[in-house]
Amino acid sequence: MQTCKYCGRLKTLVKSHIIPRSFCEIKSFQQNAPHNALSLPSDSADLKPVKRSIGMCDDELFCKVCEDKFMIYDAYAFKLLHEQGNRRKTLRDEQGQVLGAYYETYDYNKLKLFFISVLLRAGLSDVFFFKHVKVGPYLEQLKDAVDAGAAPASNDFAVFLAYYDEIKRGPILFPPSQKRIQKIKFFYFHIGQVIFYIKIDKRATPQELQPIILQPSGKLVLMTLSHKDPANFDILKGIERIRHGIE
Ligand SMILES: [Zn+2]
């Protein structure tokens, strides 16, 4: 028996998949992964890289009741972002160059709560893979949203998405990291082929991001990050091009 980090009760804890296992087991990612993409960072030179989702589970996090709260969001996100990938339409500029992709419709509440719950799970976890993710004073807001089943407004924990248009060349599952956009703090997470950015800052979302952040109505836009490193990719430049594409 241990203390569940969600409800605080003394319970038997279950294995939590912080990045849902479905996203880590997409076959093509594993086959095309650079051979060290899914390995755990290690000081041991003789540790062979492994193509499994090790390091993304935590069995000292939640009881079964709490872990199950995330199921519907995990299932929805996987269905939309992976299984229904063929619903995506391509977004091109006037020269026909691909800027990104979009879905005409999606369920804002479920998808946003998925990202909220991944942030919450990663923030509460002590496993090495998520060591950079700290949610500090935002923990209660994240939990309240999950408990109420009601996603926060678009600019609270604002989220936007990107993806690698060529799986083969892109990194697959790197640990989540921090990125500042116009000084505002975001974390970004790789989930399969998709990368999501989530704001963890009480200041306003940069105006430039408005065209692509998740909104309760409207399209779901994913910007393309072909062969680019998400740490250095110029997001604002990418969005400026997308904005022209949408309008
Ligand atoms: Zn619990």
What is the CA 29 to chain-centroid distance, rounded?
A: 16
What is the DSSP annotation of the chain?
-EE-TTT--EE-EEEEESS-HHHHT-HHHHHHS-TTTTSPP-S-TTPPP--S-TTSEEEEEEEHHHHGGGHHHHHHHHIIIIITGGG-EEEE-TT--EEEEEES---HHHHHHHHHHHHHHHHH--SGGGTT---GGGHHHHHHHHHHT-PPPTTTT-EEEEE-S-GGGS---PPPEEEEETTEEEEEEEETTEEEEEE--SSPPPGGGTTTS--SSS-EEEEE-TT--TTT--HHHHHHHHHHHH-
Q: What is the pTM of this model?
A: 0.86
What integer pLDDT is reported at residue 228 of this predicted model? 63
Question: Please, is 237 exposed, middle or buried when counting C-beta atoms within 10 Å of its C-beta (0-12, 13-18, 19+)?
Answer: exposed
What integer pLDDT is reported at residue 243 of this predicted model? 76
Q: How far is ligand 1, taken at its centre, from the CA of residue 3, in Å? A: 8
Q: How far is ligand 1, taken at its centre, from the CA of residue 29, in Å? A: 32
User: Which residue, chain included where needed, has tokens 């299932």?
Assistant: 75
Which residues are 164's β-sheet partners? none
Q: How far is ligand 1, taken at its centre, from the CA of residue 44, in Å? A: 35
What is the CA 43 to chain-centroid distance, rounded?
A: 27
What integer pLDDT is reported at residue 19 of this predicted model? 86
Q: 176 near 133, Cβ under 8 Å?
A: yes
Which residues does the chain have with pLDDT short of 70?
Answer: 25-55, 166-173, 226-232, 245-247
Q: How far is ligand 1, taken at its centre, from the CA of residue 51, in Å? A: 30
Q: How far is ligand 1, taken at its centre, from the CA of residue 133, in Å? A: 21
What integer pLDDT is reported at residue 45 of this predicted model? 39
What integer pLDDT is reported at residue 247 of this predicted model? 58
What integer pLDDT is reported at residue 172 of this predicted model? 59
Q: How far is ligand 1, taken at its centre, from the CA of residue 69, in Å? A: 10
What integer pLDDT is reported at residue 37 of this predicted model? 44
**Ion ligand 1: residues, CB < 5 A:** 4, 6-7, 63, 66
Q: Give the domain ranges of the chain.
A: 71-246
What integer pLDDT is reported at residue 225 of this predicted model? 81
Distance between CA atoms of residues 247 and 106, nearest Å:
19
